[in-house]
Amino acid sequence: MKRIYGLLALGLVIVAIGAAALFGGFIGDGNSSIGDRQTQFSALLRPDLERLAHQREIVRREAEGRYGIKELHRSEEDIPVLQALLDDNAFLPHQTYELKSLGIVFGDIFDAAPRYSWTIVTDEHGRDATIRYGETSRHINAQTMISQRVERGETVDVRLLYEETLESLGNENSRLR
Protein backbone atom coordinates (compact mmCIF):
# COMPACT_ATOMS: atom_id res chain seq x y z
CA MET A 1 0.00 0.00 0.00
CA LYS A 2 2.86 2.36 0.84
CA ARG A 3 4.37 1.68 -2.60
CA ILE A 4 1.07 2.59 -4.28
CA TYR A 5 0.96 5.91 -2.42
CA GLY A 6 4.60 6.54 -3.39
CA LEU A 7 3.86 5.87 -7.05
CA LEU A 8 0.74 8.03 -6.85
CA ALA A 9 2.77 10.88 -5.33
CA LEU A 10 5.42 10.50 -8.04
CA GLY A 11 2.71 10.62 -10.69
CA LEU A 12 1.31 13.80 -9.16
CA VAL A 13 4.76 15.37 -9.16
CA ILE A 14 5.19 14.51 -12.85
CA VAL A 15 1.77 15.98 -13.65
CA ALA A 16 2.58 19.10 -11.61
CA ILE A 17 5.91 19.55 -13.38
CA GLY A 18 4.26 19.15 -16.77
CA ALA A 19 1.51 21.62 -15.89
CA ALA A 20 4.00 24.12 -14.50
CA ALA A 21 6.14 23.84 -17.61
CA LEU A 22 3.11 24.14 -19.87
CA PHE A 23 1.75 27.20 -18.08
CA GLY A 24 5.05 28.87 -17.23
CA GLY A 25 4.88 28.07 -13.51
CA PHE A 26 8.64 27.92 -13.04
CA ILE A 27 10.03 28.57 -16.47
CA GLY A 28 10.05 32.10 -17.78
CA ASP A 29 10.08 32.89 -21.45
CA GLY A 30 11.18 36.48 -21.05
CA ASN A 31 8.16 37.79 -22.94
CA SER A 32 6.15 39.01 -19.99
CA SER A 33 5.64 42.68 -19.37
CA ILE A 34 3.61 45.02 -17.21
CA GLY A 35 3.23 48.45 -18.64
CA ASP A 36 6.52 49.34 -20.27
CA ARG A 37 8.62 47.03 -18.11
CA GLN A 38 10.11 44.08 -19.99
CA THR A 39 12.11 41.21 -18.63
CA GLN A 40 15.79 42.11 -18.58
CA PHE A 41 18.89 40.09 -17.80
CA SER A 42 22.09 41.39 -16.23
CA ALA A 43 25.25 40.09 -14.61
CA LEU A 44 25.36 39.08 -10.97
CA LEU A 45 26.78 41.80 -8.77
CA ARG A 46 29.02 41.29 -5.75
CA PRO A 47 26.08 41.35 -3.26
CA ASP A 48 24.30 38.73 -5.40
CA LEU A 49 27.38 36.51 -5.44
CA GLU A 50 27.77 36.90 -1.67
CA ARG A 51 24.12 35.98 -1.04
CA LEU A 52 24.38 32.89 -3.25
CA ALA A 53 27.60 31.87 -1.48
CA HIS A 54 25.89 32.30 1.91
CA GLN A 55 22.97 30.16 0.82
CA ARG A 56 25.30 27.45 -0.51
CA GLU A 57 27.07 27.48 2.85
CA ILE A 58 23.77 26.85 4.67
CA VAL A 59 23.28 23.70 2.61
CA ARG A 60 26.92 22.63 2.91
CA ARG A 61 26.88 22.97 6.71
CA GLU A 62 23.68 20.96 6.97
CA ALA A 63 25.10 18.24 4.69
CA GLU A 64 28.31 18.17 6.71
CA GLY A 65 26.48 17.91 10.02
CA ARG A 66 24.20 15.12 8.81
CA TYR A 67 26.37 13.17 6.38
CA GLY A 68 29.96 14.37 6.84
CA ILE A 69 30.00 15.97 3.38
CA LYS A 70 32.67 18.66 3.42
CA GLU A 71 31.98 20.31 0.08
CA LEU A 72 29.38 20.67 -2.62
CA HIS A 73 30.48 20.08 -6.19
CA ARG A 74 28.15 22.48 -7.99
CA SER A 75 27.34 19.68 -10.43
CA GLU A 76 25.03 16.69 -10.80
CA GLU A 77 27.02 15.05 -8.00
CA ASP A 78 24.99 17.21 -5.61
CA ILE A 79 21.64 15.69 -6.60
CA PRO A 80 21.90 12.83 -4.05
CA VAL A 81 22.86 15.32 -1.33
CA LEU A 82 19.83 17.49 -2.06
CA GLN A 83 17.61 14.41 -2.20
CA ALA A 84 18.90 13.13 1.15
CA LEU A 85 18.32 16.52 2.80
CA LEU A 86 14.78 16.60 1.46
CA ASP A 87 14.06 12.97 2.36
CA ASP A 88 15.33 13.60 5.90
CA ASN A 89 13.25 16.79 6.24
CA ALA A 90 16.38 18.75 7.06
CA PHE A 91 14.41 21.94 6.46
CA LEU A 92 10.73 22.24 7.31
CA PRO A 93 8.10 23.89 5.07
CA HIS A 94 8.20 27.14 7.08
CA GLN A 95 12.00 27.47 6.61
CA THR A 96 11.65 29.29 3.29
CA TYR A 97 15.14 30.82 3.20
CA GLU A 98 16.79 27.47 3.88
CA LEU A 99 14.59 25.75 1.29
CA LYS A 100 15.51 28.44 -1.22
CA SER A 101 19.13 27.71 -0.33
CA LEU A 102 18.53 24.15 -1.54
CA GLY A 103 17.24 25.79 -4.71
CA ILE A 104 20.48 27.72 -5.12
CA VAL A 105 22.45 24.46 -4.97
CA PHE A 106 19.91 23.00 -7.40
CA GLY A 107 20.56 25.97 -9.70
CA ASP A 108 24.30 25.30 -9.50
CA ILE A 109 23.63 21.91 -11.10
CA PHE A 110 22.14 23.68 -14.13
CA ASP A 111 24.94 26.25 -14.08
CA ALA A 112 27.39 23.36 -14.61
CA ALA A 113 25.45 22.12 -17.66
CA PRO A 114 26.17 23.44 -21.16
CA ARG A 115 24.32 26.65 -22.09
CA TYR A 116 23.02 27.43 -18.58
CA SER A 117 24.27 30.20 -16.31
CA TRP A 118 23.36 32.20 -13.25
CA THR A 119 22.19 35.71 -14.10
CA ILE A 120 19.92 38.38 -12.69
CA VAL A 121 16.42 38.74 -14.06
CA THR A 122 14.47 41.93 -13.57
CA ASP A 123 10.79 41.68 -14.36
CA GLU A 124 7.35 42.53 -12.98
CA HIS A 125 8.18 40.52 -9.84
CA GLY A 126 11.37 42.43 -9.08
CA ARG A 127 15.04 41.52 -9.33
CA ASP A 128 16.40 38.08 -8.52
CA ALA A 129 18.98 35.45 -9.43
CA THR A 130 17.83 32.99 -12.06
CA ILE A 131 19.28 30.34 -14.34
CA ARG A 132 19.24 31.48 -17.95
CA TYR A 133 19.30 29.14 -20.91
CA GLY A 134 22.01 30.36 -23.30
CA GLU A 135 21.46 33.83 -24.67
CA THR A 136 17.73 33.20 -24.97
CA SER A 137 15.00 34.74 -22.88
CA ARG A 138 14.24 31.32 -21.31
CA HIS A 139 15.08 31.03 -17.64
CA ILE A 140 14.21 28.94 -14.60
CA ASN A 141 13.58 30.10 -11.07
CA ALA A 142 15.72 27.39 -9.51
CA GLN A 143 15.73 28.84 -6.03
CA THR A 144 11.96 28.45 -5.65
CA MET A 145 11.50 25.19 -7.56
CA ILE A 146 12.15 23.11 -4.45
CA SER A 147 10.82 25.48 -1.77
CA GLN A 148 7.41 25.93 -3.36
CA ARG A 149 6.92 22.20 -3.70
CA VAL A 150 7.95 21.48 -0.11
CA GLU A 151 5.71 24.29 1.15
CA ARG A 152 2.79 22.69 -0.72
CA GLY A 153 3.55 19.35 0.94
CA GLU A 154 4.76 17.67 -2.24
CA THR A 155 7.47 15.02 -2.35
CA VAL A 156 10.37 16.26 -4.48
CA ASP A 157 12.37 13.90 -6.68
CA VAL A 158 15.40 16.08 -7.40
CA ARG A 159 16.74 13.95 -10.28
CA LEU A 160 13.34 13.89 -11.97
CA LEU A 161 12.84 17.62 -11.46
CA TYR A 162 16.26 18.30 -13.00
CA GLU A 163 15.69 16.03 -16.00
CA GLU A 164 12.14 17.23 -16.65
CA THR A 165 13.31 20.85 -16.51
CA LEU A 166 16.14 20.18 -18.96
CA GLU A 167 13.71 18.44 -21.25
CA SER A 168 11.11 21.20 -21.01
CA LEU A 169 13.71 23.74 -22.11
CA GLY A 170 14.51 21.57 -25.11
CA ASN A 171 18.06 20.80 -24.07
CA GLU A 172 19.21 18.12 -26.46
CA ASN A 173 22.09 17.36 -24.07
CA SER A 174 19.78 16.14 -21.32
CA ARG A 175 21.42 13.18 -19.60
CA LEU A 176 18.41 11.09 -18.67
CA ARG A 177 19.23 8.13 -16.45
CA distance 131 to 27: 10
**Count of domains observed in the chain:** 1
Q: What is the CATH number of the domain that holds 154?
A: 1.20.120.1090
Q: What is the pTM of this model?
A: 0.77
Measuring CA to CA, how many Å separate 104 from each of 4, 12, 86, 147, 160? Answer: 32, 24, 14, 10, 17
The tens digit of pLDDT for each residue in 65-120 reads: 999 999 999 999 999 999 999 999 999 999 999 999 999 999 999 999 999 999 99
User: Which pLDDT score, from 0 to 100, does residue 168 have?
Assistant: 87
CA distance 118 to 100: 15
Amino acid at 105: V
In a 13 Å sphere around the CA of 4, the CA atoms on its Cβ side amount to 1
Q: How confident is the model at residue 27 (pLDDT cuts 50, 70, 90)?
A: low
Our CA dihedral for 144, 61, 52, 172, rounded to 10 degrees, sits at: -60
Q: Are 141 and 39 in contact (CB under 8 A)?
A: no
Residue numbers of the domain that contains 78: 2-168
Which of 135, 123, 78, 122 is closest to 104 using CA atoms? 78
DSSP tag of 88 = T
Measuring CA to CA, how many Å separate 33 from each of 48, 75, 114, 126? Answer: 24, 33, 28, 12
The tens digit of pLDDT for each residue in 108-152 reads: 999 999 999 999 999 998 999 999 999 998 999 999 999 999 999
User: Which pLDDT score, from 0 to 100, does residue 49 have?
Assistant: 98
The tens digit of pLDDT for each residue in 34-67 reads: 334 589 999 999 999 999 999 999 999 999 999 9
Q: How confident is the model at residue 12 (pLDDT cuts 50, 70, 90)?
A: very low
Please indicate, yes or no, if residue 175 is contained in any of the structural domains. no
Q: Is residue 25 predicted with pLDDT exceeding 50?
A: no
Decide which of 104 and 30 is more confident: 104
Q: Are 79 and 177 in contact (CB under 8 A)?
A: no
User: Which pLDDT score, from 0 to 100, does residue 32 have?
Assistant: 39
Please indicate, yes or no, if residue 177 is contained in any of the structural domains. no
User: Which pLDDT score, from 0 to 100, does residue 37 have?
Assistant: 55
User: Which pLDDT score, from 0 to 100, does residue 34 have?
Assistant: 35
Please indicate, yes or no, if residue 173 is contained in any of the structural domains. no
Please indicate, yes or no, if residue 176 is contained in any of the structural domains. no
